[in-house]
Structure 1
Amino acid sequence: MKYKVGILLLAALILAGCSPKEKTESPLLCHVGGTMRPVFEKLTKAYEAETGKKVEINSAGSGELLANIEMQAEGDLYVSHDPFLDIIMSKGLAVNGWTLGEIYPVIIVQKGNPKNIQTLNDLARDDVELALTDYKLSTLGRLLPTIFRTAGMSLNALTQQKNIVIHRSGSYVANLVAMKSADAALVWEAVAVLRRDKLDSIPITENLPVPYVDAVTSATGKSYKLTPVRVTICSLKCSKQLEAVDKFMRFVSSFRAKRILEEYGFGVSADLRKQEYKEGKRVNL
């Protein structure tokens, strides 16, 4: 009788398309926004070396990944920057969400800074070829009007004054500067760090939007107070491995991961070790 029950249980598992072995040994699938891919490649290797658990990365734009998660209901984790954690939670597609760090914009110039660019105002000079991310289709692009306004400049006037190269991808405009096809650009520091052998970075801390004061309309059409711009990770409701997902989330938000995140240009502090959502509900921070 016990033998028959065991056979029936095994058959039910097979028909359901899973097995106890699959449940514990299947790799986690982590959807990662493009800016965060390099650091997560290193984090997942460190995690696999420590635990033996494999984590596969699927990378694209944060918005594109969110659309795919919504349509296909596949994967275990989602890594993005603002404003996408709030959006995926509002759609009921995720369970828990954590802040890992922040990303900051910087001016990038060619190695050695041959044009002696020191401030945002220098970007308006006639001898400076400038590249920027798209003002409507990228999170950093949406921040640019406020950033330039803090320097006493008008982005609209600047675009009329200069022939600026515009592209949605920060990596694209960074590569233009690295290849000497442009003299300067504004990108996330995490993008600049990956090209430190060819580029120098100039901080613009004093020109950043005031945290929780300056509201910016994001690329999703929704208004957010986007400074600081959080980098977040969340567990997906469609995951069948929520226990393994929770272990990985704790690893990437641990002190061990802090050094790797900072190495790749992400701001990390004790204040950022916060849970944003628990079981789909906003946690008071």
Structure 2
Amino acid sequence: MPVRSSRSATAKRADTAPVERVDLYEEVTARIIAELEAGRVPWGQPWDSAACVPSLPRNALTGRPYSGINVLLLWGAVMARGWPSQSWLTFRQAREAGGNVIAGEKGVTVVYADRFIPEAELARAASEGAEPRAIPFLRRFTVFNVAQCEGLRGGLASDPAPLPAHAVMPVAETLITASGVSVRIGGDAACYVPALDHVEMPPRAAFFEPLDYYRTCFHELIHATGHASRIGRDLSSAFGSTGYAREELVALSGQSAPLATLQ
């Protein structure tokens, strides 16, 4: 952390979206808190607690990786159940893949966020010569791990083979260099210093495992994305404040993604 669509259908969506969005936010927050209380860190990958390779969750039918809060939710589910895969399908997709969800299996709720423009708003913008205002919405759907399915045909998008351990380090170093942020080694603290726009890291030998060094470094580099010359997040919040907690969650939720991508 820093130190120093029809008209009626459209109308219905507009009416229900805010309530649904609030409910989903509360539901997702409760699930993350439950993971923490159970001793599982949903943004930390299950390298030791599950047999799956450390990678981003992906849809087994399309090969498309999940993103945002869904990564945390699906990683948490894999950690809790020890499934050997990061591949997921909806109930319908399991049928499309020639198989089915095993009877009695319970899926994991994930969310899809987007924006839409109601027809009335399009008409208003056109009549006034203004830009139409989009309304955000959040939609939930249920997915199942491929380990919860049976009879699936071959050729589905599979988990990527992990890089050999000796190959991860050079690629991670290349990614750190490509960030453009100066990383200074020394001392006993890991932090990003916004005023100087650099990351401070303890020596590699201070970490129990090499991957812990890179995971920590990526965590601090994610804080660096908030610098005014980049995304421009507020990095001035004091320790213990809401703003501090929000920024810490940003970094925690993304720190494992670079390593997952490499693997």
> TM-score scaled by structure 1?
0.18
- Name which structure has the greater RCO, CA cutoff 8 Å, separation 6+: 1
> TM-score scaled by structure 2?
0.19
